[in-house]
Amino acid sequence: MPRNRPQLIRKEIRVFGAVQIMTALMVHTLGVLWSYLISLHIMAFGKTYVPFTSTIGYPYWSSWFFTFSGIFAIVVEKSSSSSLMCYTTYLNITSFCVALVGMIAITFELAAQRASRHVPIWPHTAGKLLTEYLGIFTILELFAAFVVVHWVRKARHGG
Q: Are 11 and 115 in contact (CB under 8 A)?
A: no
Distance CA 86, CA 105 (A): 29
CA gap 70, 91 in Å, rounded: 9
One pLDDT digit (tens) per residue for the chain, 159 residues: 344 444 446 678 889 999 999 999 999 999 998 888 877 777 776 666 677 888 888 999 999 999 999 999 999 888 877 888 889 999 999 999 999 999 999 999 889 888 877 766 777 778 888 899 999 999 999 999 999 999 888 887 776
Residue boundaries of the structural domains of the chain: 4-156
